[in-house]
Amino acid sequence: MPRPKILLTRRWPSAVETVLSERFDATFNLEDLPMSTDAIADALRAYDAVLPTVSDKLPASVFAGGAIRTRILGNFGVGYNHIDIAAAKAQGIAVTNTPGVLTDCTADIAMLLLLSVARRGGEGERQIRAGEWKGWCPTHMIGTKVSGKTVGIIGFGRIGKAFAQRCHFGFGMDVVFYNRSTVDPAEAARYGARQLSTVEDVLTAADFVSLHCPGGAENRHLMNTARFSAMKPGAYLINTARGDVVDEAALIAALERGVIRGAGLDVYEAEPHVPDRLRALENVVLLPHLGSATEETRNAMGMKVVDNITDFFDGREPPDRVA
Ligand code: 8YV
């Protein structure tokens, strides 16, 4: 039996690429440039498995037109809103993701953003690098205290829980959250958190609002003009989830007008494009989608994909099947 032909749309950690090339007839994207939608559509006709990332777009159109060879999309990442799951499913294509292994690192990045924006870490760094620091004084670059404040979490899945744990047990914060389904209060209490009934309840209670829900149609623009207005004046938004959960234009307007005090962002609506008006604001901390970007986590994500496609081609149920 010939080995399954697989395509990685981007370069992956070399240890993972090595395992993949031992087990499969693997093609690597040696230039590591994002593939066009047309190139991905062609790949679906040429490979048994395509292994995409968040930098790829797989709308319904790539699955249309027949002659599909791909049987599994082994996504490198937990979020898969860049894939039209219904269209993949309609073609009988399995889809897997990489949950669990990036929980801690993504929660860490949310904490980094929260601390940086509240304590003006980015501004301070820029000031020193520009040679503009005039020395210590009692009124210099005054931020907002974090310890003991209230954090509001939208989406209480693995990453939301890990973030709650850090906020409550690390920083003595009161943690409230909104989640679509009801979470057992005893389970919530393990993370020092309690559930509120609506997004609005969370927004009106929180000094910091952090998004941890999936992207895609169901949560598109969950944070909009009305919801920024519902936040406490002086509150901050943290987004490590997906750019499309936030109406970016509404966020920029809220920041410019002082409706909210600041934002810490790791994700954007049209990555890698970050609007000039957002980049011009001092009261935002901007990271280039670094949530899972540690050696340990990227290796573990890759190995999860290896496990998923190995099980699939060996006729077993892949552990992280989402479709
Ligand atoms: C990944 C992420 O780097 O896993 C996710 O959902 O947002 C990131 O941590 C990215 O998705 C890789 O495809």
pLDDT the model gives residue 322: 98
Active site residue 200: no
Ligand 1 pocket check for 79: Cβ under 6 Å:
yes
The structure tokens 């670094």 sit at 290
Active site residue 194: no
User: Which residues, including other chains, have CB under 8 Å from residue 278's CB and lie 6 or more apart?
Assistant: 248, 251, 252, 255, 265, 284, 286
Residue ranges of the chain with pLDDT lower than 50?
none
Backbone angles phi, psi at 192, to 5 degrees: 70, 30
Ligand 1 pocket check for 53: Cβ under 6 Å:
yes
- Ligand 1 atom closest to the Cα of residue 55 is 13
Whole-number Å distance between alpha carbons of 9 and 42 = 12
CA of 302 to the centre of ligand 1 (A): 11
Q: Write the DSSP string, 58-96.
A: B-HHHHTTS-----EEE-SSS--TTB-HHHHHHTT-EEE
Is the link from the previous residue into 185 a cis peptide, with omega within 30 of 0? no
Contact 121, 127 (CB under 8 A): no
- Ligand 1 atom closest to the Cα of residue 54 is 13
CA of 64 to the centre of ligand 1 (A): 26
What's the first-to-final CA gap in the chain, in angstroms? Answer: 26
Which of 51, 102, 158 gets mutated to test ligand 1 (max ligand atoms within 8 A of its CB)? Answer: 102
Active site residue 271: yes
The structure tokens 């907002």 sit at 144
Contact 295, 12 (CB under 8 A): no
pLDDT the model gives residue 1: 80
Residue 284's H or E segment, with its range, is: strand 284-286
Domains of the chain: 5-101+295-313 (3.40.50.720), 103-286 (3.40.50.720)
Nearest Cα residue to atom 3 of ligand 1: 292
Ligand 1 pocket check for 292: Cβ under 6 Å:
yes
Ligand 1 pocket check for 318: Cβ under 6 Å:
no
User: Which residues, including other chains, have CB under 8 Å from residue 22's CB and lie 6 or more apart?
Assistant: none
Whole-number Å distance between alpha carbons of 293 and 101 = 12
Whole-number Å distance between alpha carbons of 208 and 236 = 5
Whole-number Å distance between alpha carbons of 226 and 85 = 30
Backbone angles phi, psi at 46, to 5 degrees: -120, -15
289, 238, 288: which is closest to 260 by C-alpha? 238
Whole-number Å distance between alpha carbons of 318 and 312 = 5
Q: Write the DSSP string, 159-208.
A: HHHHHHHIIIIIH--EEEEE-SSPPPHHHHHHTTEEE-SSHHHHHHH-SE
Say if residue 199 is exposed, middle or buried (CB neighbours under 10 Å; 0-12, 13-18, 19+).
Answer: middle
**Of 242, 248, 261, 298, which is the active-site residue?**
242
- Ligand 1 atom closest to the Cα of residue 240 is 7
- Ligand 1 atom closest to the Cα of residue 292 is 9
Contact 183, 205 (CB under 8 A): no
260, 263, 202, 253: which is closest to 234 by C-alpha? 260
